[in-house]
Structure 1
Amino acid sequence: MAAPPLSSISSNHRAPPPWPPPINSTNPRPRIRCGVLAPPVGRLLEAASTAPRDTRSQLKRVPGSDVNVQIRRLCRSGGLTEALRLLGCDGVDVGSYCAVIQLCGEERSLEAGKRAHALVRAAGVATSGMESVLGKRLALMYVKCGDLESARRVFDEMPQVSDVRAWTSLMSGYAKAGDFQEGVLLFRQMLCCGVSPDPHAISCVLKCIANLGNIMEGELVHGCIVKLGLGAQCAVGNALIALYSRCGQIEEALEVFDGMQHQDAISWNSIISGCFSNGWHGRAVDLFSKMWLEGLEIDSVTMVSVLPASAELGNALVGKVVHGFAVKSGLLWELESLQGGVDDVLGSKLIFKSMDQKNVVTWTAMITSYTRIGLFGKVAGLLQEMGLDGIKPDVFAVTSALHAFASDESLELGKAVHGYAIRNEMETVLPVANSLMEMYARNNLADESFSLFSDMLLQFRPNAVTMTCILPAVASLSSLERGREIHAYALRRGYMEDSYVPNALMDMYVKCGALLLAQCLFDRLTEKNLISWTIMIAGYGMHGRGRDAIVLFEQMRNNGIEPDAASFSAILYACCHSGLRGEGWRFFYSMRNEHKIEPKLKHYACIVDLLSNTGNLTEAFEFIKSMPIEPDSSIWVSLLHGCRIYRDVKLAEKVADKVIKLEPENTGYYVLLANIYAEAEKWEAVRKLKNKIGGRGLRENTGCSWVEVRGKVHVFRCG
């Protein structure tokens, strides 16, 4: 069945309501459910009957006033187990239930909290309690214990919540769990109920919006802030700075910063970090100097942005001054995380080695730094040293390590970290699950990625990062049906505002053969970044539409977007697949001379492929010999394929000799040469080559094919 047009897929995606949303008198509090997979709260009633019958009957004979005094005393002293036992008595009042539930939250004891909740319902005080402070305490307890499903269920049972702190605590829980879209939806619901937000609620929703990268929604909230007169609050200003910086609107961030009546250290750090991350390195250093002159406290967060900014400007003096300040202030131990910005791995490693005490933060910072600058091979050694030092990697260390092994395609190391995550119950943490899917997808193990994705759906809701991790697996399997399902889900959840998700979807549609859908999605993007253009250029090239790729490349440049190495790789690939020899050479020279981008192996491979496919075999051979970098097997194989197309046996023998020396165990090259001999009817050469393969004990690698039936992929191999 043909795929439906993109317009039909997105027809169910509703536009966000106005800010603040209109209040519906007939339904003042719309229900927005957050999940359907968690077990019902009714099952928790089983916990109320776990105590032996004799013990429970004895407890019920304790006088009500005495038992409440005992429960409160136990809660003040931290005696949770005994206090929970006394909740089974008669005469327990709401205040005692609140005290025990609050203690469960403080001690992060979810099991005890569920038991207390079950006893509340079993005692018949749930209805009255939900209308008072008890419901809020229950919801807050579940939030603190990390059970957002139960927290939301309790919250939705409360008839009308006018306390903004209750709304904010639940929003904060979603933000900490990475479910930023649900946090934004909850904020909308709060406004629909007529609850006026305070600075904490505003800061929380702005954090969610910043992580979603939804600048339009952020501007709407900014307008709401102005109407409510909350702009003077320092916390609100800081959240706005973070939002605009994260969304690339640094001028608006500076405007907010300059308009603040009072700026604290967080304000300065946020604006300096925002300037650096948006490429305003000179402004970041200027703001740092101004901050120092005003006598404000400077911490490691400030230096994380200032040192890389000074490095980008070539300002060694500022770097030395900040480094000296770090030594004097005792913040030296945090400087190893700066190595990616200043490009001084050796110096940062010496700093790290000189530290007397290293904790999980310093080790994780070092791992993250190596990952950020592409030294993936060093990460495994760091993890091993970390373990020998008696430090257990945390979620952040595991996530960074998995990203490194995904980028380096180190499957065995990635599997080892996966095992560690399972043993330490980290597999169900969303960032770790996302990194695992990314690692398996980059190692061409799409089925393993989908298996993890299915397990994830049983426990929590995927976020925008999950979409970008699983879509490459969809693309590798050419599973258009699954891709459309994920597209629909992303639309329903509002993840299309995240620039990474539309780009991943376009890449998926291109690789699944649905170029028209990719083009429709590209045309609908309000803001197209370099990645968006590059994906579509590569897509046209993949489908043999080289002329269209060139037109799109020129449109990108006319829109003020400068191409990078990946963009030139895409356009060279497009020229190669369409046989556009002259245009290919023009882009190759433009990359080197006009844009000052030094070609890499993949660019040279495109030129060799282009020359080989157009019959210029001798020119391709001479081009390879003139390359300033050592050619790998892929470059020689491109020429070998050209030799087969144009039946140049003599050159094929020379090329095959070079490629077989590089990869002697790869039987595919022997087979390719054998086919060249066979097509030239050189049967004696074919026989000798087959004997050579058999004498070395090599076996031909068999291919495979797959078909998707009713959402399941079936793989077929020879034999």
Structure 2
Amino acid sequence: MIIFFQNIMSLTEHFCLKILDKCPDIQQLRRIHCRLIIAGNLASASHVALKLMKAYSECRQITVTRQLFDEFPQKDVVFFNVMIRSYVNNKLFERALHMYRSMNRIHIFPDHFTVPQVLKACSGSENLWVGLQTHVSVFKKGLHSNLYVGNGLITMYGKCNRLLEARKVFDEMPGRDVVSWNSLVAAYAQNGMFHDALEVCRTMVHSSSLKPNAGTMASLSPAVTCSTSSDNLIFMKEMFMNHARDSLVSWNVMIAVYVNNSMPADAVNLYLEMESCGVDPDSITVASVLPACGDLSALSLGRKIHEYVKRKRLLPNLTLENALIDMYAKCGSLHDARKVFDEMQTRDVVSWTSMVSAYGMTGDGQTAVTIFSDMQRSGLTPDSISFVPVLSACSHAGLLDQGKRFFKLMTDEYKIVPRLEHFACMVDLLGRSGRINEAYEFVKNMKMEPNDRIWGALLSACKVHSNTDIGLVAADHLFQLVPEQAGYYVLLSNIYAKAGRWKDVTTIRSSMKVKGVKKEPGVSNVELNNQVHSFLAGDQSHPQSKQIYEELDIIVGKMRELGYVPETDSALHDIEDEDKGNHLAVHSEKLAIVFVIINTEPFTPIRITKNLRVCEDCHIAAKLISKIAEREIILRDTNRFHHFKNGFCSCGDYW
């Protein structure tokens, strides 16, 4: 009978341990724990106690893990290793280091499993002092040749900004794996030494038998994210295509790299390719690609991603919800942005600021101001970034007094020191209100040196209100600050042309040619069936070019019947390579608008994004086309949104 009972207990223990190996949930884990206590041998079976400790740690029940540790009478190095790893995995780095020190005090010596975990704790807490002590101990105990110890030392020194030591450990390692290379790449990238990070990665690819993996992509991403070198981007893409496409991490990194390097079309195309490859996006993927959808006004794709988010139950998630608001706002869909905002369980300053910006960009300054006030009443404190969109909203809506009040509120009540962005908004606010002299005095009285955005806002106001004298002053500063930016030459040229000073217009043209200044080609993007189509002025490369130009001729004829006369001043002094040999009628915005008209059902809204400021002729044309085609046209340029409907624009013809 006794033997039979012992066998039953043994079977119970065996069954429980098998379940523990499968990482049970917390409720199941507690039931197993009770059964093992009833079995009566938990206090003496070290392998059972260790498995329970690991299981509780994975369930983030670190208090119970520590209780099991404390209650076991005969603890060896394995118990300390499990407890230290439990603390590290739960990001309790200081407790892990305290446990490490306590094992030394009772003369339990660390082994090659202990040291890597201790080094992780040093990395997580950036505790260089303990890291250095551990490195000395490693040499004394002969563990310096251990691969995992070496990798841990590289990571620790990298996190503590000791790159010479990290490189020395790497160079002296008798053997390296892909983690060793990734750790060194990450060490350089985390400390802003992007060139070195890329060079290490290139060396790994060309001179090592090891192949990059998702960890390499993640380690290298800060270097390429902050890089504007096309060679670096090409290298990253090749590495992704050839070595690292089997991991969701790699896809996420590559999408983020494209987004952060202002390549939204590439980011969206990669996301679509990811879907076609059967790789399921996660919340990181979605948060990365949504800004790209917004940049391209890819509303259909953005809505499709939103449906995926709801289907996968990724909400509530503050980061995702903020990204959705921003995407809808950039696509000009205020209704969708507001719906996401209203359904949020919690909101932060970013959520409120995004909504303020959304209304401000469309010219609804009064609603933007109301939302900003609602944010204040909600108990959140606006930060310096929050004041930029509300000041801009006041500017676009001509709310001079309210804009001045918000600037005073920011400086006097919230004690926020104005930044250049706030000053630029105030100059724009005064300039749009026709207070050119007041705007100029404001610039002269600034306590910091004005930048090109501030002088540019003043120059734009001078163009609208035909103030040549102050316009020349602003232009002179701009040509000194950013002599390569063609847009400011064009603005000054516009001022001269408006005043009939054609000789000065010619001088500006000549100056641009001598200095080699070229205006960035205008590109208009439009989405159709989840695909983004891009147009340049006079573009003949699109498969439907013949149909587009035929339809455009018909529409221009109808525009002329309504009194349309091309804005020839724009053609005369808007000096762009894209316009050479082309008529105003084939500017990129017009081509994009007609493309949507011939490919969609009547009354379907048209959404376009342009990388430059919309010209006066295209603005006039869009108003007329919205009336002729009975279409709402939502066009976002670098300044703001233009909602064209029934022959009118939301900007009031001032942008």
Q: Give TM class, smaller chain.
A: 0.5 to 0.7
Q: Is the 8 A contact 2:17 2:51 kept in 1?
A: no
Q: Which of 401, 404, 410 is residue 223 of structure 2 equivalent to?
A: 404
Task: Give secondary structure in 1 for the equivalent of 2:532.
Answer: strand
Superposition deviation, residue 493 in structure 1:
2.0
Q: Which of 369, 381, 389 is residue 547 of structure 1 equivalent to?
A: 369
Q: Which of 94, 119, 139 is residue 303 of structure 1 equivalent to?
A: 119
Report what 2:427 is aligned to. 611
Superposition deviation, residue 585 in structure 1:
5.2
Superposition deviation, residue 357 in structure 1:
5.3
Q: Is the 8 A contact 1:540 1:548 kept in 2?
A: no
Structure 2 counterparts to residues 423-502 of structure 1, below 5 A: 423-424=242-243, 426-464=244-282, 465-496=284-315, 499-502=318-321
TM-score by length of 1: 0.57
Superposition deviation, residue 492 in structure 1:
1.5
Report what 2:448 is aligned to. 626
Report what 2:153 is aligned to. 335
Q: Which of 255, 270, 290 is residue 63 of structure 2 equivalent to?
A: 255
Q: Is the 8 A contact 1:272 1:288 kept in 2?
A: no
Q: Structure 1's 493 and 393: CA in aligned 2 closer, same or farther, altered over 3 A?
A: same
Give the counterpart letter for 1:507 in structure 2. D
Matched, 1:321 2:143: no
Report what 2:200 is aligned to. 382
> Partners of 2:462 and 2:18 in 1: how far apart?
71
> Partners of 1:515 and 1:420 in 2: how far apart?
40
Superposed CA offset, 1:170-195 (max 9, x none): xxxxxxxxxxxxxxxxxxxxxxxxx9
Superposed CA offset, 1:616-654 (max 9, x none): 433553366724xxx664454344334445554334333
Matched, 1:691 2:495: no
Q: Which of 213, 222, 247 is residue 26 of structure 2 equivalent to?
A: 222
Task: Give secondary structure in 1 for the equivalent of 2:21.
Answer: helix
Superposition deviation, residue 273 in structure 1:
5.2
> Partners of 2:513 and 2:257 in 1: how far apart?
36
Structure 2 counterparts to residues 144-163 of structure 1, below 5 A: none
Q: Is the 8 A contact 2:326 2:337 kept in 1?
A: yes
Q: Is the 8 A contact 1:471 1:504 kept in 2?
A: yes
Superposition deviation, residue 386 in structure 1:
3.4
What stretches of structure 1 move > 6 A for 4+ residues in a row?
Answer: 230-233
Q: Is the 8 A contact 1:438 1:470 kept in 2?
A: yes
> Partners of 1:257 and 1:322 in 2: how far apart?
25
Q: Which of 579, 584, 593 is residue 407 of structure 2 equivalent to?
A: 584
Task: Give secondary structure in 2 for the equivalent of 1:299.
Answer: helix
Report what 1:367 is aligned to. 185
Q: Which of 496, 499, 508 is residue 677 of structure 1 equivalent to?
A: 496
Q: Is the 8 A contact 2:300 2:530 kept in 1?
A: yes
> Partners of 1:264 and 1:538 in 2: how far apart?
53
Superposition deviation, residue 198 in structure 1:
2.0
Give the counterpart letter for 1:270 in structure 2. S
Superposition deviation, residue 388 in structure 1:
5.6
Superposition deviation, residue 538 in structure 1:
4.5
The aligned length equals 475
Matched, 1:718 2:534: no
> Partners of 1:607 and 1:662 in 2: how far apart?
17
Q: Structure 1's 272 and 498: CA in aligned 2 closer, same or farther, altered over 3 A?
A: same
Q: Is the 8 A contact 2:328 2:336 kept in 1?
A: yes
> Partners of 1:389 and 1:307 in 2: how far apart?
29
> Partners of 1:484 and 1:507 in 2: how far apart?
13
Structure 2 counterparts to residues 31-70 of structure 1, below 5 A: none
Superposition deviation, residue 497 in structure 1:
5.1
Task: Give secondary structure in 2 for the equivalent of 1:201.
Answer: coil
Matched, 1:702 2:518: no
Give the counterpart letter for 1:621 in structure 2. V
Matched, 1:202 2:57: no
Superposition deviation, residue 345 in structure 1:
4.4
Q: Structure 1's 690 and 310: CA in aligned 2 closer, same or farther, altered over 3 A?
A: closer
Q: Is the 8 A contact 1:509 1:518 kept in 2?
A: yes
Q: Is the 8 A contact 1:450 1:473 kept in 2?
A: yes
Task: Give secondary structure in 1 for the equivalent of 2:315.
Answer: helix
Matched, 1:507 2:337: no
Q: Which of 247, 264, 268 is residue 84 of structure 2 equivalent to?
A: 268
> Partners of 1:343 and 1:549 in 2: how far apart?
43
> Partners of 2:234 and 2:486 in 1: how far apart?
28
Superposition deviation, residue 339 in structure 1:
4.5
Superposition deviation, residue 683 in structure 1:
3.4
> Partners of 2:498 and 2:103 in 1: how far apart?
75
Q: Structure 1's 639 and 386: CA in aligned 2 closer, same or farther, altered over 3 A?
A: farther
> Partners of 1:404 and 1:372 in 2: how far apart?
8
Q: Structure 1's 421 and 267: CA in aligned 2 closer, same or farther, altered over 3 A?
A: same
Give the counterpart letter for 1:432 in structure 2. S
Superposed CA offset, 1:568-611 (max 9, x none): 324323323324234235436788x67xxx98xxx423322323
Task: Give secondary structure in 2 for the equivalent of 1:463.
Answer: coil
TM-score by length of 2: 0.62
> Partners of 2:412 and 2:89 in 1: how far apart?
37
> Partners of 1:334 and 1:275 in 2: how far apart?
16
> Partners of 1:652 and 1:402 in 2: how far apart?
43
Q: Is the 8 A contact 1:273 1:302 kept in 2?
A: no
Task: Give secondary structure in 2 for the equivalent of 1:626.
Answer: coil
Superposed CA offset, 1:375-428 (max 9, x none): 44443233234346535433311333245313434444122221233234x335
> Partners of 1:286 and 1:538 in 2: how far apart?
48
Superposed CA offset, 1:498-543 (max 9, x none): 5543332232122223334334334444455665555445545545
Superposed CA offset, 1:30-80 (max 9, x none): xxxxxxxxxxxxxxxxxxxxxxxxxxxxxxxxxxxxxxxxxxxxxxxxxxx
Superposed CA offset, 1:238-266 (max 9, x none): 4654565xxxxxxxx54344444566524
Could you tell me which runs of 5 or more consecutive residues in structure 2 were left unpaired when the two chains were aligned: 1-15, 37-48, 73-78, 396-402, 432-437, 539-655
> Partners of 1:300 and 1:503 in 2: how far apart?
38
Give the counterpart letter for 1:198 in structure 2. I
Could you tell me which runs of 5 or more consecutive residues in structure 1 were left unpaired when the two chains were aligned: 1-194, 204-220, 245-252
> Partners of 2:348 and 2:35 in 1: how far apart?
31
> Partners of 2:462 and 2:162 in 1: how far apart?
46
Superposition deviation, residue 657 in structure 1:
3.1
Give the counterpart letter for 2:407 in structure 1. G
RMSD over aligned Cα, in angstroms? Answer: 3.9
Matched, 1:650 2:458: no
Give the counterpart letter for 2:297 in structure 1. S
Q: Is the 8 A contact 1:405 1:411 kept in 2?
A: no
Q: Is the 8 A contact 1:506 1:535 kept in 2?
A: yes
> Partners of 1:522 and 1:235 in 2: how far apart?
45
> Partners of 1:532 and 1:682 in 2: how far apart?
48
> Partners of 2:202 and 2:412 in 1: how far apart?
45
Q: Is the 8 A contact 2:255 2:288 kept in 1?
A: yes
> Partners of 1:364 and 1:508 in 2: how far apart?
34
Q: Structure 1's 658 and 238: CA in aligned 2 closer, same or farther, altered over 3 A?
A: farther
Q: Is the 8 A contact 1:585 1:607 kept in 2?
A: no
> Partners of 2:59 and 2:353 in 1: how far apart?
27
